[in-house]
Amino acid sequence: MQADINAPWRNIATIVTVCCLPWAGIAGAAEPARVTHDGRLKRDLRIVENGRAVVYAVVESQTMTSLMHVELPAGTPTRLHPMAATSQIEAAFSPDGRFRAWVEFRGVTNVKLLLRDMLENREALFDPGSDRAHLGSPTISPDGRRVVFSLPQPSGQQLVSIDTQAGDRRNLTDTAGINDWPAFSPDGSQLAFGSSREGDFEIYLMAAGGGDARRLTHSPGLDLRPAWSPDGRRIAFTSLRDGNYELYVVGVDGGRLTRLTDHAERDDYAQWHPDGRQLAWIAERDGEFDVYLQRVAP
């Protein structure tokens, strides 16, 4: 299950082309803007630099996945870390750009979390120990003080918090199943995340320091990868409730559930633009994967 819900994944040699339906658009809006045009397998989208650019991971070969940087609206992709010699995925950034984190790996048995202070040009390493396979999904708090990510534990896949020097480890969850894809609320007080603690992957909310979680979605099929709107009122997420990876938005009170995409191929990795009026995501169209940007109804 873990490999499927995180696909596109690490060393993927074959992309299966799916017969597709016409583009349905988001909430009846105009045609989305296509940001990238290379069609290569992508994942882990982030909007950075106050909405001026995006970063994502792209599969460059069977042995190399790289983090790419593209200026908006449609710049030329360049490597975020030009000198990287190992595969990198799942980048995260503090809102002010000072801190970044990413997952680096040489196969599933050698995975680590890197943290970099761009102001002081200092790097820290979190070594997960013997069970490295599913470390991932880092997110940085809005104040730049904490990094939360998912880590295997004896009880299940849990959310863990560390400081930006890779110390002061704190466990935030302790449940059965998988807890993954944490996302800080804009004010840093809450975390949204996906969890299978009740048997099916749903979106939950809890205090940023851990504690009791409130279930936000209630539907058969995977609900995963939540992303907060800049005003803190809505959460976009990926769902398989209709038999295909589509994007939805729900209010933080559980109301106003809205399906945003309707396509036979995959729509995933949603991220809000800082203006709160646009959504970026990775879409599969005719077997190709690219970043799209679209205005969203309020």
What's the pLDDT score for residue 43? 97
What's the pLDDT score for residue 130? 64
What's the pLDDT score for residue 154? 87
Residue 121 has pLDDT above 90, yes or no: yes
On whether the CB atoms of residues 171 and 158 are closer than 8 A, the answer is yes
Binning pLDDT at 50, 70 and 90, where does residue 106 land? confident
Angle ∠(255,221,148) on CA atoms, nearest 5: 75
Q: Roughly how many angstroms between the first and final C-alpha of the chain, as a whole number?
A: 34
- Mean predicted confidence (pLDDT) in 226-236: 97
Non-local CB neighbours of 116 within 8 Å, separated by 6+ positions? 99, 100, 101, 122, 123, 124
What's the pLDDT score for residue 13? 28
pTM for the model stands at: 0.90
* Euclidean distance between CA atoms 112 and 110, whole angstroms: 7
* Euclidean distance between CA atoms 162 and 207, whole angstroms: 16
* Euclidean distance between CA atoms 225 and 239, whole angstroms: 9
Residue 12 has pLDDT above 70, yes or no: no
Phi, psi of 5 (to 5 degrees): -70, -20
* Euclidean distance between CA atoms 100 and 4, whole angstroms: 26
Q: Tell me the average pLDDT of the chain.
A: 89
What's the pLDDT score for residue 134? 76
What's the pLDDT score for residue 133? 63
Cis amide linkage into residue 73, ω under 30° from 0: yes
On whether the CB atoms of residues 86 and 72 are closer than 8 A, the answer is no
Q: Tell me which amino acid residue 147 is.
A: V
Structure tokens at 197: 């603690």
Binning pLDDT at 50, 70 and 90, where does residue 128 land? confident
Kindly report, residue by residue over 144-185, the tens digit of the pLDDT: 999 999 999 888 999 999 999 999 999 999 999 999 999 999
Residue 11 has pLDDT above 90, yes or no: no
- Mean predicted confidence (pLDDT) in 247-276: 96
Residue 51 DSSP SS3: helix
Kindly report, residue by residue over 195-220, the tens digit of the pLDDT: 999 999 999 999 999 999 999 999 98
Structure tokens at 74: 């449609």
The whole-angstrom distance between residue 171's C-alpha and the CA centroid of its chain comes to: 20
Cis amide linkage into residue 152, ω under 30° from 0: no
The neighbouring-strand residues paired with 23 are none
Residue 7 has pLDDT above 60, yes or no: no
**Domain over 2-295 is classified CATH 3.90.226.10:** no
